[in-house]
Amino acid sequence: MLYRSWGSNKDEVYSYTSSMDTDIYIEDEVKLTMIAHIIALKNANYISEELECKLLKAVKDFKHDPNKRFEDIHEELESFLISKLGEEGGSIGLGRSRNDHVATALRLKTRKELVEILKSLNELRSVILEKAKEHINTLFPTFTHLQQAQPSTFAHYLTYIVEELNPLWRIIFEKLKNVNRSPLGSGAIVGSNVKIDRNEEAELLGFDGIVLNTLSATSSRLDLISIVSELTNLMLVFSKIAEDLVIFSSLKYVKLPDSHVSTSSLMPQKRNPVTMEVLRARAGECIGELTSLLTIYKATPTGYNLDFQEMNKHYWNCIEIVKSSISVLISLFKGIEVLEDNVNIDTSTLATDEAELMAIKNGIPYRKAYFEIANKIKNNLFQSTLKIGDSINLKATMGSPNPISVLQMLEEYKRRLDEDNKTLKEYENKINEKLQTIEKVVLHCAM
């Protein structure tokens, strides 16, 4: 206990409302936030360089003690500093609130996680593009209403996945830039009388700038909710892919890597696509996490409320699901095989090609040709003059499975991937360069 001057650590405040179970996820970020605050206090001449160094050393030494009971990790950290330095440890309370510090730590943690997610997502895009190069001419059916529709190739299916991931990557990157704004220095709600340079604190922590309004800085969680929303959209794409792969493997069109399948306790022949089934389920979990966030947040009045701490676990749960799902998909697409001998594309899927060719060659309306072909199919008289491969090569539409079109898509997707890798690397370098100032101050004090 530190802030409450009444009761005991057996009160419901600790047994029911303590956030320590989720605060451990942001321990490093809480310490980093405190370090920036201490440096800012010294630079504004509120504490001496000697006390700055004492405080910084103590913060570096801090580790969460699971055997002690606190409301949150911020209280535990300040209590630790006071236990180490006496009353001087309480100097960090000047111009600081748990409200702006937790908001800052959440953004730092989310920033770190998003950078890693974006890197992994680029690796997944790269793996799929490499696999697509192997299957430009590998015939594969398409489906509408889960019935065979028209002939395609496996490369065309794989480039569809990349097309889905490309804009999501850029949306998530924009969300990263939005979350990379500093709330630090905003105090509890309206700032404080302490002349701390918020822009300096933002620079120290690698932020692009500040959340200007102090009320928004401490009480808004929209940036974090928006990130979970886009990560949930990503999981929706993953879930549809997982569903496809469950179906394709059940039809024996593809063989999933051995590391992704399990078997039955009774039926020894089974190769169950269990990783894809679990991924499909975990997409539902992410939807649940997002729903929880929206439901908790919608009724909170403007200003900080302890409801916010109950939101934290939902950020991390969805982020962890996304990270593990990307990793699983990278592994799967590296090892997936197409069982070409089992891929049976029905010749009825050539009906559209025949109708189009009839309309073009004879100069008749497409609908007339359509009904002629439909009648032949109805009366079991349809026989195509084409081979399955002819259908692919005849496609004249940009973005189609025609090998020329697929090669163009692969080239364009590789260009986008290279551009996104460069953008992310430059952004990460910019953050790390700013963080070096903090590292230098801490290193100086350690000498």
Instruction: Give the per-residue pLDDT at 283.
Output: 98
Residue 29 banded pLDDT, cuts 50, 70, 90: very high
Binned at pLDDT 50, 70 and 90, residue 3 comes out as confident
CATH number at residue 73: 1.10.275.10
% of the chain at pLDDT higher than 70: 100
Q: Is residue 291 part of a domain?
A: yes
423 and 368, same structural domain? no
- pLDDT for the residue numbered 445: 93
15 CB neighbour count, 10 Å cutoff = 10
Residues 278, 231 within the same domain: yes
Give the up-direction half-sphere exposure of residue 233: CA atoms within 13 A in the CB hemisphere: 14
Give percent above pLDDT 90 in the chain: 92
Same domain, 280 and 358: no
At residue 188, does pLDDT exceed 70?
Answer: yes
Domain limits at 360? 347-394
Work out the number of other CB atoms within 10 angstroms of the CB of residue 122: 18
Report the alpha-carbon angle 91-92-96, nearest 5: 125
211 and 139, same domain (yes or no):
yes
Task: Please check whether residue 3 lies inside any domain of the structure.
Answer: no
Q: Based on the fold, state whether residues 187 and 64 are members of the same structural domain.
A: no
Q: What value does the mean pLDDT of the chain take?
A: 96
pLDDT band at 10 (very low <50, low <70, confident <90, very high): confident
d(C-alpha 327, C-alpha 317), whole Å: 16
**pLDDT score recorded for residue 4:** 74
Q: Mean per-residue pLDDT for 231-249? A: 98
Chain segment 371-426, per-residue pLDDT in tens: 999 999 999 999 999 999 999 999 999 999 999 999 999 999 999 999 999 999 99
Question: Is 70 exceeded by the pLDDT of residue 347?
Answer: yes
* Whether residues 41 and 165 fall in one domain: no
Beta partners for residue 182, in sequence order: 210
Lowest mean pLDDT: which of 5-9, 80-84, 124-128, 148-152?
A: 5-9
In a domain, residue 205? The reply is: yes
Query: Residue 403: inside a domain, yes or no?
Result: no
Give yes or no: residues 129 and 88 share one domain.
no
pLDDT digits (tens, 9 = 90+) for 268-310: 898 999 999 999 999 999 999 999 999 999 999 999 999 999 9
Same domain, 424 and 379: no
Based on the fold, state whether residues 314 and 190 are members of the same structural domain: yes
Residue 330 confidence (pLDDT) above 70: yes
Domain-located, residue 329: yes
Residue 14 pLDDT exceeds 90: no
Q: Mean per-residue pLDDT for 323-341? A: 98
Within this chain, do residues 162 and 146 fall inside the same structural domain, yes or no?
yes
447 domain residue, yes or no: no
Does residue 333 share a domain with residue 385? no
| Residue 5, in any domain of the structure | no
Residues 285, 385: one domain?
A: no
What's the confidence (pLDDT) of residue 150? 97
* Predicted local confidence at residue 1, as pLDDT: 58
Q: What is the CATH number of the domain that holds 340?
A: 1.20.200.10
Taking 70 as the threshold, does the pLDDT of residue 324 lie above it? yes
**Stated pTM of the model:** 0.95
Tally the domains of the chain: 3
Q: What is the pLDDT of residues 66-91, one digit of tens each?
A: 888 889 999 999 999 999 999 999 99
Q: Is residue 9 predicted with pLDDT exceeding 90?
A: no
**Is residue 230 in a domain?**
yes
